[in-house]
Structure 1
Amino acid sequence: MPVRVLQLSDTHLTAAHSGNARTDPDHLLRSALEAHRRTGVHADVTVVSGDLADDGSAPACRRLAAALAPLRTPVLAVPGNHDVPDTVAETFPSDLLETQGWRILGIDTSRPGDIHGTIDTAAETNRLDALDERPTVLVLHHPPLSPSAIPAFQLVGGGELVAALRERPYVKALLTGHLHDPFELRTDTGVQILGCPSTLIGFRHTGDDTVIGEGHIVGVRQVTLHDDGTVSSTVVAS
């Protein structure tokens, strides 16, 4: 049976929400979840690829957990640059899920005070190498390959991660956030790097240019992990 993964990202909830339906992150999160519900796809797992809370607050993380509870799935969430990692872990303690022959592993690429991401590839590959080689998906906030050339939208050490994955072909895809842009890229060995839209506001990145809003997609990504080790996905706009 395939594994259905619902990916959300960059929800940017705050300790208190405004109630303005057009700009309130809680309202827009509910709209994104409703768009997912209307597709009729029932997720087996939910992942959140960072920036759960715009202000790093615990109330925001708890409200996100409450919003996801009706899905009745395990939830794996990783911190983004707006989050406090310990606060995220208090609400979403699991960074490893295994289901139906697949593994989903969360990686924290956030560093205090930085907008860009950083990864210790040696440490993360050591984690991978301590596990068996079943088909694996990594979840991280900052993508190692990016449609943006702007430093704030980069992952320092991303090139080393891509190189390390050449020797670990069981890693099939990376689910990322940060860019608010539903892009799709592949490494030189075919590993998919899937950028998730934000539930709050959409960006479009092209090299040194970033356009915010202007009708760019907000929503979620639905990812299917197939029995043969392949990965497919669909972006669902709110």
Structure 2
Amino acid sequence: MAWFENKYRFDKSTIKIAHITDCHLFEDDTGKYFSVNTAENFQRTLNYLATLELDAIIFGGDLTQDHTTASYQLFAKLITESPLKAPVFWLPGNHDELQTLEEITEGQILGTKHIQLEGADVLLVNSKGHSPAGWCEKEHLSELQQVLLQSSEQVLVFCHHHPLPINGYLDKHILENGPELLNCLVNSGKVAGLIHGHVHNEYHYGYRAMSIVATPATSIQFSKCTEQWEQQNLGPAVRIINLGAQVYDSEVIWLDG
């Protein structure tokens, strides 16, 4: 089945989306990543999102830290038991396995990669490569190009990896053919912006006048502009996005801010 074949339709002209990413869960809810309980942070995030009037949540990848099936099951359990009611869409990160993600895709957790509303589209791109670095396969980019040709005039795109350098440690795990993806998006003349995770902090930059932003993690953050891996315990964060045919804005909210 083609990546973007299934569609989820909102019969409204604007939607409010939450982008959350990089929860790095373990097999149980006591697991810690750099001394931070990631399940607790994720649960706090879900509880916060439940207080907002959201239409959709997009999870941006790196669900698991220990690569256990139980960590995926914990993800699903925390969502199901939370007061959050909006559908949760996912895309894979470098830590994740597609097959295991698909195994927890039921009920509130949806595998759809093409979201439509009146006058706008949302596309979830697969940037998972064969190493921690990202890679978009040629066939995937070709399908993306065709979908963009048929889409509305306002499109918002999500992926996991950062497509351009951030001058930091995680540049060693960049989306290796990032400019190829970016040119595909910009050349369509329709993409309002690209939003990604992976870099564990907030970033704003651009490519050929197209906006690119990074959403911080729900787990831990990494210091900016450092050659070595430096952890910052800033608490979890989310990005809230308003999207419509003539609307695109977003802001990062730090839960401990």
Aligning the two structures, in what range does the TM-score lie when normalised by the shorter sequence? 0.7 to 0.9
1:61-210 equivalences under 5 Å are 61-69=72-80, 70-92=83-105, 93-112=111-130, 114-120=131-137, 123-130=140-147, 132-134=150-152, 135-150=154-169, 151-189=171-209, 191-206=210-225, 208=227, 210=229
For structure 2, the residue ranges without an aligned partner over 5 or more in a row are 1-12, 106-110
When residues 42 and 149 of structure 1 are mapped into structure 2, their CA distance, relative to the original with a 3 A threshold, is same
Alpha-carbon contact 1:136-1:171 (below 8 Å) kept: yes
CA contact (8 A) 2:15 2:242 kept: yes
**CA RMSD of the aligned region, Å?**
2.3
TM-score normalized by the length of structure 1 = 0.85
For the pair 1:218 / 2:236, whether they are aligned, the reply is yes
Deviation track 1:44-64 (CA, whole Å, cap 9, x = no partner) reads: 011011101112333322332
- Alpha carbons of structure 1 residues 223 and 90: separation in structure 2 relative to 1, 3 Å: same
- 1:111-163 superposed Cα distances (whole Å, 9 cap, x missing partner): 24x22111135632433414522122222110212423544241110011122
CA positional deviation for 1:102: 2.6
Give the SS at the match of 1:117.
coil
Distance 2:74 2:93 in 1: 17
Cα distance, 1:121–1:181 mapped onto 2, change above 3 Å: farther
Deviations 1:170-207 (A, max 9, x none): 12222211111111222213x22221111110112226
TM-score (ref. length: structure 2): 0.80
Name the count of aligned residue pairs.
231
The 3 A distance-change label for structure 1 pair 59 and 99 is farther
Pair 1:173–1:91, CA change in 2 (3 A) = farther
Extract unaligned runs of 5+ from structure 1.
none
| Contact preservation (8 Å) 2:14, 2:117 | no
Q: What is the CA–CA distance in structure 2 between the aligned matches of 1:129 and 1:23, rounded to whole Å?
A: 42
State the Cα distance separating 1:23 from its structure 2 match: 2.3
Report if aligned partners of 1:202, 1:216 keep a CA contact under 8 Å in 2.
yes
2:250 maps to what in 1? Answer: 233
1:41 to 52, 57, 64: 52
- The amino acid across from 2:254 in the alignment is A
Decide whether the 8 Å contact of 1:10 with 1:178 is kept in 2: yes
3-state SS in 2 of match to 1:27: helix
CA distance in 2, matches of 1:28, 1:185: 27
Instruction: Indicate the percent of aligned positions where both proteins have the same amino acid.
Output: 22
* SS at 1:34 equivalent: helix
